[in-house]
Structure 1
């Protein structure tokens, strides 16, 4: 584990892919350029968020298909796709197709639960079955089965001039081992482990047994691995917002400090009936951030991270932050860029 003196093995980043409603192409192009930059800087993975009815990426499968044709090595993931908006069979086809196009680099991150503001969208999303839809773990179990090649029908063969398969096509054999669950509760961590998934832990968790954010992340990792067949070797990626300032301009440092100051109050105590607990953003030089991470109980449990880029910054800010992560922060955590 990456305590001080030991190596961080896998370094990734996460972006929301914001765009202007009047010119969405520019924002999507910016996201693709950021992913290309990540590959040049040696990052191991690039992840995109999934947003519906907002001005962020609503179709990460399409964006990552484009990214797969503009990169050759970097892993491409979603963090995360809410399955309440998806048909698991159709999504399995899309994911397998992009995995084939990328040469086996896709890492789909998934979550379950009722879509946000469901009463407002259910008429458009599920006009005939809104009250019958199952938004629990069974929905992701269906996707797992489809991606892993289990039959979806009881028949295969030839009908006329058409040939039919009884499983999702194309089938990408390695994709089933690269499915991640975005878990913020002990129950979801346990379920993901029992179903042989990988685990994404983010900057939002549920305060169930503790009000120390780092301890909550640590317990999620330990619960997951205790229930995973691979035990301590089961893959976990930690997500936090980190903003290194090594090469930032004075104007950028002022912008970043204001951003963190506005977001900090929500990190002091669990929020709402669900007791959601938000991590503090880590702002400072790479040396300062590395010191905080080495003392972080959640970070000390993992050797993979996907640091989140702040939501509302400009393209040049993301270039500076990613460059500092790759050239200053990563090496201080023992990471080495990919060639």
Structure 2
């Protein structure tokens, strides 16, 4: 197995936080227990997916607030919050509040564009303003100005017995430096770099027609590598800019035979979507292959991955539909076996 010149610096994981719609409490408690386990195992970060009208986490900020009182070190983020669902001002208030409660551990990630099933939800979400809402990059830029503490209200001072600020309160210094953008295309990657944001890559990307290899294949790792290099090229920090790679990685070192069979069936069912972009017309979204095997086998595949060689941080995604015991096994193997093979060391 090749040895990296520079070891992996940060090891994180991502969870969707599934729950039973008829009894949601146990699923939410499991998420908090998984976050606690992640901290105990030494993970540097946990990221929460953001889902609406599904039995997955719809309010990751609330989950992070609860987890902030049950953990002490692990960073907590979103990967990602689609900002089209959110009011940037209220989001800035909530994030700053949780960042303060957690001691500066919030690392929120965002994306833009119309919410999923926009025509079906826009009347419930924005009954009076749906056609006027700006769902472009400017929505993130507006949120950033608020997080940074820029004046956004035209009034400040005293009104009666109350004091008012022109900036969003509370203000949490340093939070703006920990904001990520979830990019899947060259255009959004360059924009995120020019804003000085951190880059969250995932196991989904939107290739350009020019990304098609001469032999007719789509090479996900090569496409992602080009996007990461584009990001560093246009970021003020250059090669020092933070980039995190997110892939579905399933180590099987301590898995039972039943778990291994389940994991293999999961990966096999998802593999066809990795051969070509999904969704006509033209190139749509391309998925990376899930990586299943022992920690040594996974490490060898990662070192052969062109995009992995460009990063020093990872956020490995937990499969969506597994049981709590499966997540315990996967996280434990990741932290105790896979991480060290990648040069990562848990905090002392």
Bucket of the pairwise TM-score, normalised by the shorter protein: over 0.9
- Using the alignment, how far apart are the partners of 2:227 and 2:347 within structure 1? 29
Q: Deviations over 1:75-114 (max 9, x none)?
A: 0000000000001011000000000000000000000000
Q: Secondary structure at the match of 1:154?
A: coil
Q: Indicate the residue corresponding to 1:253 in structure 2.
A: 260
- The 5 A counterparts of 1:158-307 are 158-208=158-208, 209-210=210-211, 211-273=218-280, 275-307=284-316
Shift of 1:130: 1.2
- Using the alignment, how far apart are the partners of 2:172 and 2:109 within structure 1? 16
- The 5 A counterparts of 1:299-338 are 299-338=308-347
Shift of 1:51: 0.2
- Using the alignment, how far apart are the partners of 2:347 and 2:40 within structure 1? 9
- Using the alignment, how far apart are the partners of 2:190 and 2:231 within structure 1? 5
Contact 1:13 1:45 (C-alpha < 8 Å) held by counterparts? yes
Contact 1:5 1:334 (C-alpha < 8 Å) held by counterparts? no
Shift of 1:134: 1.2
Shift of 1:219: 1.0
How many residues in Structure 1 have an aligned counterpart in Structure 2? 338
TM-score, normalisation: structure 2: 0.96
- Using the alignment, how far apart are the partners of 2:232 and 2:3 within structure 1? 19
- Using the alignment, how far apart are the partners of 1:112 and 1:15 within structure 2? 21
- Runs of 4+ in structure 1 over 4 Å off: none
Greater Cα offset, 298-307 or 204-213: 204-213
TM-score, normalisation: structure 1: 0.98
Contact 1:113 1:136 (C-alpha < 8 Å) held by counterparts? yes
Q: Indicate the residue corresponding to 2:62 in structure 1.
A: 62
Greater Cα offset, 244-253 or 215-224: 215-224
- The 5 A counterparts of 1:2-81 are 4-81=4-81
Contact 1:198 1:234 (C-alpha < 8 Å) held by counterparts? yes
- Using the alignment, how far apart are the partners of 1:252 and 1:5 within structure 2? 34
Contact 1:190 1:227 (C-alpha < 8 Å) held by counterparts? yes
Unpaired stretches in structure 1, ≥5 consecutive residues: none
Q: Indicate the residue corresponding to 1:121 in structure 2.
A: 121
Shift of 1:5: 4.7
- Using the alignment, how far apart are the partners of 1:176 and 1:118 within structure 2? 29
Shift of 1:6: 2.9
- Using the alignment, how far apart are the partners of 2:347 and 2:16 within structure 1? 24
Shift of 1:257: 0.3
- Using the alignment, how far apart are the partners of 1:338 and 1:41 within structure 2? 10
